[in-house]
Structures are given as structure tokens and as C-alpha cells.
Structure 1
Amino acid sequence: MALAQTPARERAADGLDETSRRPPRRGRKTAYQGSARGFIAPGVFLVAVLLYLPLLWTTFLSFTEYNGLGDPDWVGFDNYVEMFEDPAFVGSLLNTLLWVAGTLLVPVGVGLGIALLTWNLPGGIWLRLPFLIPYAISGIGVGVIWSFILSAGGALDQALAVFGITDPPRWLVDAPLNTVVMIFAASWQGVGVNALLFTIGLQSIPKEPLEAARVDGATGLRLFGSILWPMLRPLTAVVVGLSIVASLKTFDIVLSMTKGGPGRASETLALTMYRETFVNSDYGLGSAIAVFLSVVTLIASILYLRQQLSQKHEM
């Protein structure tokens, strides 16, 4: 009997030895967490160096008077007071709000319309392609193209002269007309990618609800309002959020088309920040505008996302 039980005892003893040699579960979890932290540490360090440190430095400079030479002089909130007392800053803030409204109405609305019109058409991708090509052009390139079209005596004025219109509007000179035409120039660039995103959203909608709605007689606007729009709402939140952020930091198209002129009538907040910082060498005031623009962008994004999430919970 003792001999028969020996192998079992040996196996049990070996099992106990294995268990004793195996690290405890908590220890393994700690080791895995340590390895994970080691992998993400370079990325966190890179983000901290390239994003958070410049943000902290810019915030510090916004409370100082600094021209790029010597040491910054602490002035408290003087830059923020000066910023809001400057009529040019108030004008650039209003122009930025006009950009937000325009880029929500035109590129998002037109992109949605193009997606709806070409969604089920054979060869619809080829109909959307001409709208998508301008997205590959840089903002400066878009500005140069539309400056050639809209400048005095440019392509548009010559085309209007053919129809007998010899005294056209001064597209890039009169405010707020110059801001409006620049919004249309930016929309020419952004419509295609919005149409592509909305098309992807439409293609992901299940066919069963659409077929059931059509059987019930829902077509056109009724089908769009009852089926398509509610199912596109999550994607619409992304498109609108990206448009808001992009419009708040509009810079390159305005710089290349009007340089903020005439005077400073068509400046946006981003261009005002650039002018004060790199043209006037007032790094303190430029940093204050940058901080204000960052805070406005953050607040707008949070409010919009909270609204979308509350609507989602209500549904």
C-alpha cells in the first residue's frame, strides 16, 4: 500500500512545489502593469514635452509683458483687460463666431445634401469625387485659388462683365462680405470630406428599418426625419464637433486671401494672436489671446458633447 501511494504523493508534492514556485496573482498583475507603464511612458513623455509644457509656458506668458528678449515682467491680468478693450479683438471675435456659424451651415449642410443625393445612385462615388479633391489642397493653396477668382478684375469679375455687370461687389475689400466669401472658399474645401463621412454613416444604416419605413409609406423628408437623421446623429456629432473646432482656429485661408484686411476688418482670433505675437512682438498679449481661444474651444467642445450625450440618454 505504501508503494502504491508513493507516486500520488510525489505528484502532489511536485504540484505543491510548482504552486510555490509560481508567482502570486497580485504579483503577476503588478508586473503586467509595470510593463504597460514602461511601454506608454515614451508617448506620455512626448505629449508632455510637446503639448503640456508649451501650454503651461503660454499661460505663464499671458500674465507677463514680454517681447521675446530678456526676462518676462509679471503684469497680472493686464493683457486680458487690454485684449477686451481693443476694438480689433472684439471684431476678430465676432468674425470668428461668423466663421463658426458659416462652417456649420454650408460645408456640413451641403455635405449632408450631397451624401443623401448620391447615396443610392449607381456610380455615386464618381459624383462625390470632384467635391473631395479640394480637400487634398492646403489652406494656403485654397486661399490663393480663390484670391485669383475674387480679386478686383479677377476671374469672377470678368465672368460677370460678360453678362453686363461692370460694377461688381468688392469681394475681398468690403466687410463683412469678405468674411462671407472666405467662408464659402473654406466650404469648397470641406464639403467633400463631410459628404464622404455622411455617406459612410448612411451605408452603415441597417436596411430593415428603411424597408419597413418605405412599406409604411415614408419617403423623402419623412423618411429622412424619422429614420435617417436619428441614425446619423452620432456621426453628425463628430462632424459638427470637428467643424466647430476647425472654424474657431481659422487662420491660413484668411492670411492668404485678405491678411485680415482691409485694416483688421476680417481678422479671426487665430490671426489676431499671430499678429500680436510674431508681428508686434507682444508675446504676453498674444499668449493671452491664445489662452482665451483655447478656453473658448474647450468650452464649446464640452457643451456640445454634453448636449449630444444628454440627447443620447434621452433616446
Structure 2
Amino acid sequence: MTMTSGRILPTLLRSLQRSRTPLPRPQWPQPTSTLKPSTPRKFTTSPPRRHGDPRRQPADDPGFQSIVDNPPELVRTGKRHGPGLIILAIIPITAFFLGTWQVKRLSWKTDLIAKCEDRIVRPPLPLPPRIDPSAISDFDFRRVLVTGHYRHDQEMLIGPRMRDGEQGYIVVTPLERKDDPGATILVNRGWISKKHQDQKLRPEGLPTGEVTVEGLLREPWKKNMFTPENRPDKGEFYFPDVKQMAELTGSQPVWVEQTMNPDYFTTLEYEQKGVPIGRPAEVNLRNNHAQYIFTWYGLSLATSIMFWLVVKKPPKDITRRVRMNKNW
């Protein structure tokens, strides 16, 4: 029984293998597409470098230009100096002309001082009753004598003015001449201290009766830009405006500075009593033109040397090398 079953089983298996038919393969629908076939993509051995990639080299830029191709564009060797050189060239020329102008001013001021000193040493000249204001410049610093009565009621104080470290005022009083009331002139009597500003405190400084004044005939003063304007309505005068004072007092625009030369003790006595202290009979015109000449000519020489050093200064090493590269 065992052998029969062992033979039947292989026989059945062979018969089944012969009778087996192959199963049909399923047919799937093919997809329809209108796309054109793309061009085959080419791959490089290394990925492209993007902007900012540290591996990117300057030569990768299409607009890169080598120094070897255009060396003159690296340094502008044709222009070593800027507009400052023009200014430096103008300074010595201007200073030279100013120094030459001061030479002429020195000659003019020297002649003027000589004329004024010659007028001072001459004897005093009696002042005529009527004076042409335009002719005063020809008699500047001329010693004159004038007689009349002081109008203390029209007194004007100019100040403040300093003298030996003490503050005070300049006393200007109209002098009315007896021959002709219309011939009144303005007299600068001198300096008083501030404590004697009030007339009641200086009775000895207010002479009455006829007086004779010896002084210097001077040109009208000129106001500088730092001095404030006078306020005659309040009795405040900061500089002697001769024409303005003459109109206020009804006098001629004539300015006479009283002169005196007291000793030291007399000056102290005058100061204590409130007597105006007049000026000495001397020329006090400033003459600093020699210093100006030295200053302007020195500046012209110094800037000329600076200009020469700047122009003759050799170029730097890098500039010299780039100039040689122009011949590549």
C-alpha cells in the first residue's frame, strides 16, 4: 500500500503540470500626453557657484578687468595737487601787495606827524571868530589861543574814559566869545574822575568870568564800529560827535583841546578838586605801519617758500611705480 501511494502522487503532479494553461497578462491603458520630449540635460562635474560663495573668484565676473590690461586707471598720476595749490599761490602775492601798500602808508603817516610836530612848536595863533570847517584839516594840531566865557549850563560829559586805572569822563564845554555870540566853539577841557560827575561837587572846576584857553585845534573825531551811538536826550555821550554837539549848543563845529603840563602834585590836586586835567601839547598819532610792513612781507616770504616746497616735492614711491607701468 505504501509503495502504491508513493507512485501515484508524482504521477498526479506531472499530469497537473501538463494540463496548466498560462493566465492572460492584464492590458493597462497607455497615458496620452501632448508634451514634447525635453532636451537631454547635461550635468557638469561640479555644481555652479552662486553670488557670495566664498569659492567664487574675481575672475569669474564677466566684467572683470585685470590690472595688467589697464594699469593707468589704478592711480591718477597726472594730478598731484588740488585747488589748495591755487590758494597757496594767491596768498604770497596778496601779502606782497599789502606790504607795499603799508610802505606808502608809512611814508604818508611819517610826513603827517612831521607836519603836526612842526605846527606844535610854533607860537600859539589867535583863533579867528569865524572858521571854515573844511580848512581845519590844514591846521590840525595847530596851537591856538581863544578868549571867552564858559557855558557850564551846556556842559557835556563823554565817557566813560579811563586814566591811570580810574574811571572818569571828558568835560566838553562851549566857549562863548564876547565879540560874537555866534562864534562859540567847543572846548575839550580834559578829564575828571567819576566821583566828580555832578557839578555841585567840583565848584573849583567851574571858572566864571572871562578865560583864555590855550589848546590844539583838532579835526572832528571819527566813531569806530564798536562805539554805541550818543543819546543826547538822556545826556549820554560815548564819543565826541562834533557836529552833533555843535547843533545842540548852537556853536560852530570847531573842536579845541585844552593843553596843560602840570607836575605830579598839581595833577593830584586837580583830581581831588574836580578840575579837568588837560592833555599835554604833543602829537599822539599812532604809527604802526612799520610793524605791518614786516608782518605782510614776512607772510609773503613764508608762503612763497611753502609754495616752492609743495611744487618741488618728489612723488611717492607708489606713484613713481605706476608711472613706470604706463610703458608696459
Query: TM-score when scaled to structure 2?
Result: 0.24
Q: Which structure is higher in RCO with an 8 Å CA cutoff and minimum separation 6?
A: 1
Q: Which has the higher strand share?
A: 2
Q: Which has the higher helix share?
A: 1
